[in-house]
């Protein structure tokens, strides 16, 4: 009898590391540290940017049309130059961070939640549902997603919400398939069988026993996918079917700067650089998470920075 | 390595029963999802608006518009139009392009040949470069070259292609004047589009080659070969590479499929007359027949390419053939 009531032997995943240990592991990977700091900065810009610099970003000054960068003549707001209407580029980039990040975050969150939920159902139930869900994922995956996005956005109005919707739908299969594959493997493990024997409800098994095991994988994918969605959104905005002016994202800024390429390269260069730095940080963070959230790999970071790579 | 010589003969004999069944099954499911896509695009694209409003002058009379719609079969209810379309399709008629007043299929095939050339050249270069560089990095893990290569693939995965494209235009076309900014005509016109399309798949495939080679190099048969005194070069090219290629081929297939779908953004920027640019233009100008024909042609191409990938699998891995 004592066997059953005793805590499960060999805990499936060791207790999550304490906060200080996470910080130490982050510090062990200097690239990831820089990436996190930069992403924090972008997040601050996205949240507070429009409040602080909203007026400056919208103020037109025709004398500063296509003002060159690295000149403090017109004040520090013009340090990156001015755009075709004389609006300072730096505040515009800061303000545009809000839409850029909000759209990507919305799309990732929606596809994460829906995809993971469907994946849990498809993986844990052997019934017809599993089959239906997987075929649905196949259909979405076989569509050329950019084309679909173009048609849908052209039919509906290209608003922030529709953009989030289209991007979310095209990314659902990623989470769905990963979750299902992981669930199929985890459900056969001893601790799940033990929970079943103990009479735990399906709901409890799925959310308390299976989900925590696969969550790290999903979070790593979501980080990577955030970068992908950002690139997709900026490509759509660049093609002119994403966000419409006066709303602004980094992709749209690149697109608006394109016609002044030969005379004022900075119009398209800076917002593009913002995109690159953000997606690169997300990629670095994701590869750090892959190691830090994996109990069998974690020692690489706990030993210090020298062994990773 | 006696099995290597016997390979091509084996493939013909062993693949037939199982492979045919698999191919047939795949063809049916591909056809079904293509049919779904055609239905979706047919009805969605007709929601974008009336071509008559776009192709006739603003001051055209209602009678003229009516005439235009009648001429192009746009007057019937949408579901009737769809039945007509399917009927024509069965007879191999994809309809005419509104914009060019030519058979839609001709317009699409013309553009597709451009995209196909671009995709084949790019993927060939990417494959060769990624395998060579990836093998070297796997052999010298942690070296300066390895770090440089992973930095390169990180940048490739992070940079938006439209941004790389316009920065490249400013740098190499406008400032240095080495290559033309856009269009087609000479060999030089191909340099920038290929270079820009090269970057992302190269970084991705490089990482897969590296990881896959690393695990192959750590395996028992390589240790045995080393113990027998086999040199580095045969170990890479004879022993590991062939085993390491399986996951690599999957990624190559995915990337090639993306290119066959038309590199919309890159083709648009460089004014390259490929199928991606054609699709965007046709959507914006409500040239419905061309959109649908383009979808079907690229879907067929991707299906055929996936078959090739499966064949490559069978060639490389005898276990799959049985």
Domains observed in chain A: 19-300 (1.10.3720.10)
Read off the pLDDT of residues B92-110 as tens digits, 9 standing for 90 and up.
777 777 777 788 888 889 8
Contacts of B211 in chain A (CB under 8 A): none
Predicted confidence (pLDDT) at residue B14 exceeds the cutoff of 90? no
- What is the complex's ipTM, to 2 decimals? 0.72
- What is the number of other CB atoms lying within 10 angstroms of the CB of residue B244? 26
SS3 content of chain B, % helix, strand, coil (to 5): 80, 0, 20
B34 touches chain A (CB under 8 A): yes
Residue carrying structure tokens 């090269």: B198
Cβ proximity of A95 and A54 under 8 Å: yes
Question: Does B147 contact A152 at a Cβ distance shorter than 8 Å?
Answer: no
Tell whether B169 lies on the interface with A, counting CB pairs under 8 A.
Answer: yes
Q: How many CB pairs under 8 A join A and B?
A: 97
Residues facing residue B103 across a β-bridge: B96
For residue A198, give every residue at least 6 positions away whose Cβ sits within 8 Å of its Cβ, in sequence order, or none. Answer: A4
How high is the mean pLDDT of chain B?
79
Query: At A110, is the pLDDT very low, low, confident or very high (cuts 50, 70, 90)?
Result: very high
Secondary structure (3-state) at B96: strand
Q: Which domains does chain B have, with CATH numbers?
A: 104-317 (1.10.3720.10)
Instruction: Look at B163 and A272 and tell me if their CB atoms are within 8 Å.
Output: yes
| Distance between first and last Cα of chain B | 19
Question: In degrees to the nearest 10, what's the CA dihedral of A266, A268, A270, A271?
Answer: 160
Residue A14 predicted with pLDDT over 60? no
8 Å CB contact of A234 and B160: yes
- Partners of A88 in beta bridges: A82
- pLDDT tens, residue by residue, A198-257: 888 888 888 888 888 888 888 888 888 888 888 888 888 888 787 887 788 888 888 888
- Measured between beta carbons, the chain B residues lying within 8 angstroms of A254 are 160, 162-163, 166
Residues A275-292: tens digit of each pLDDT: 889 988 988 888 888 777
């Amino acid at each position: 009898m004592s066997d059953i009531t005793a805590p499960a032997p060999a805990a499936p995943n060791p207790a999550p590391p304490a906060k200080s240990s996470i910080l130490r592991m982050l510090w062990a990977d200097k690239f990831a540290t820089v990436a996190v700091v930069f992403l924090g900065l972008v997040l601050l810009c996205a949240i507070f940017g429009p409040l602080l610099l909203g007026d400056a970003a919208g103020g037109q000054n025709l004398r500063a049309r296509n003002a060159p960068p690295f000149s403090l003549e017109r004040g520090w707001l013009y340090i990156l130059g001015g755009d075709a209407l004389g609006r300072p580029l730096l505040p515009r980039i800061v303000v545009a961070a809000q839409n850029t990040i909000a759209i990507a975050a919305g799309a990732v969150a929606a596809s994460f939640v829906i995809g993971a939920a469907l994946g849990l159902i498809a993986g844990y139930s052997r019934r017809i549902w599993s089959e239906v869900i997987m075929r649905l994922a196949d259909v979405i995956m076989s569509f050329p997603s950019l084309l679909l996005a173009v048609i849908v956005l052209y039919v509906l109005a290209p608003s922030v919400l529709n953009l989030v919707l289209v991007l979310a739908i095209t990314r659902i299969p990623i989470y769905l398939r990963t979750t299902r594959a992981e669930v199929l493997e985890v459900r056969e493990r001893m601790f799940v069988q033990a929970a079943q024997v103990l009479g735990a409800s399906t709901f409890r098994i799925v959310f308390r026993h299976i989900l925590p095991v696969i969550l790290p994988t999903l979070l790593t994918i979501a980080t990577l996918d955030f970068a992908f969605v950002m690139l997709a959104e900026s490509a759509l905005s660049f093609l002119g079917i994403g966000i419409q002016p006066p709303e602004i994202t980094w992709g749209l800024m690149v697109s608006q700067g394109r016609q002044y390429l030969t005379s004022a390269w900075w119009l398209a260069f800076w917002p593009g650089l913002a995109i690159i730095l953000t997606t690169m940080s997300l990629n670095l963070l994701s590869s750090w998470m892959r190691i830090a959230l994996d109990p069998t790999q974690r020692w690489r970071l706990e030993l210090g920075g020298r062994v990773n790579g | 390595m006696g099995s290597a010589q016997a390979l091509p003969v084996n493939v013909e004999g062993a693949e037939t029963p199982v492979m045919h069944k698999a191919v047939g099954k795949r063809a049916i499911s591909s056809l079904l999802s293509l049919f779904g896509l055609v239905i979706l695009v047919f009805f969605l694209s007709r929601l974008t608006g009336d071509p008559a409003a776009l192709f006739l002058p603003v001051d055209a009379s209602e009678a003229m518009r009516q005439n235009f719609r009648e001429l192009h079969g746009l007057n019937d209810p949408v579901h009737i139009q769809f039945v007509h379309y399917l009927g024509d399709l069965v007879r191999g008629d994809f309809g005419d392009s509104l914009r060019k007043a030519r058979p839609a299929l001709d317009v699409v095939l013309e553009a597709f040949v451009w995209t196909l050339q671009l995709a084949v050249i790019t993927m060939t270069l990417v494959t060769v470069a990624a395998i060579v560089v990836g093998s070297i990095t796997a052999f010298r893990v942690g070296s300066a070259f390895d770090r440089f290569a992973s930095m390169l693939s990180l940048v490739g995965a992070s940079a938006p292609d439209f941004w790389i494209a316009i920065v490249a235009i400013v740098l190499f076309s406008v400032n240095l004047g080495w290559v033309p900014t856009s269009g087609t005509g000479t060999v030089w016109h191909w340099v920038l589009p290929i270079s820009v399309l090269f970057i992302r798949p190269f970084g991705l495939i490089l990482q897969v080659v590296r990881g896959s080679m690393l695990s192959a190099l750590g395996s028992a048969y390589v240790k045995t070969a080393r113990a027998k005194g086999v040199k580095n070069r045969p170990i890479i090219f004879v022993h590991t590479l062939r085993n390491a290629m399986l996951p690599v081929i999957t990624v190559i297939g995915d990337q090639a499929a993306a290119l066959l779908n038309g590199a919309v953004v890159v083709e648009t920027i460089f004014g390259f007359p490929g199928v991606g640019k054609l699709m965007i233009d046709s959507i914006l100008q409500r040239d419905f027949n061309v959109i649908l024909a383009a979808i079907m042609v690229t879907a067929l191409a991707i299906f055929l390419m996936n078959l090739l990938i499966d064949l490559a699998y069978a060639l490389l891995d005898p276990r799959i053939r049985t």
